[in-house]
Amino acid sequence: MKVSEKYYDEIFDFEGQWDLPSKCGLKILEREGKKVVIVTELYQDNPGTSVTYAGKSLAEQICKAKGLNPEEIIYLECNPDTESKLDFYNEEYFEVRFDAGEGILAGPRYRQLSAGEKRQLFGIE
């Protein structure tokens, strides 16, 4: 499953779980004065940790590498359309928030973007 380059502007190398070298697609947009960071899962072209499992660590690594303030970004994960017959591989975008509280059960919160939000994000009428 090859991921179309329309989903990213660059390949971003990051340190995954257990220091495993990993890769994702990266696109950074500016919308309403905020940076929108979109990380795209590369499936077989990623030798390491998925963007979902890298989570907050990946967001922090991108902010550090690109000089972004983590408090001022909108962080999205993209599961790109790979033209598979399996619904699992349909295009989906999720906004991820890492401020889900404290405690052992706290973790990132995911919200799937609607079709209208995706059109607005990419300036499609």
Residues 114-124: pLDDT tens digits? 999 998 888 87
pLDDT tens digits along 56-91: 999 999 999 999 999 899 999 999 987 777 666 678
DSSP labels, 87-110: GGGS-EEEEEE----SSTT---EE
- Alpha-carbon dihedral of residues 86, 50, 41, 66, nearest 10 degrees? 170
pLDDT (0 to 100) of residue 61? 97
pTM over 0.75: yes
Q: Which pLDDT score, from 0 to 100, does residue 82 have? A: 77
| Residue reference for tokens 């220091």 | 19
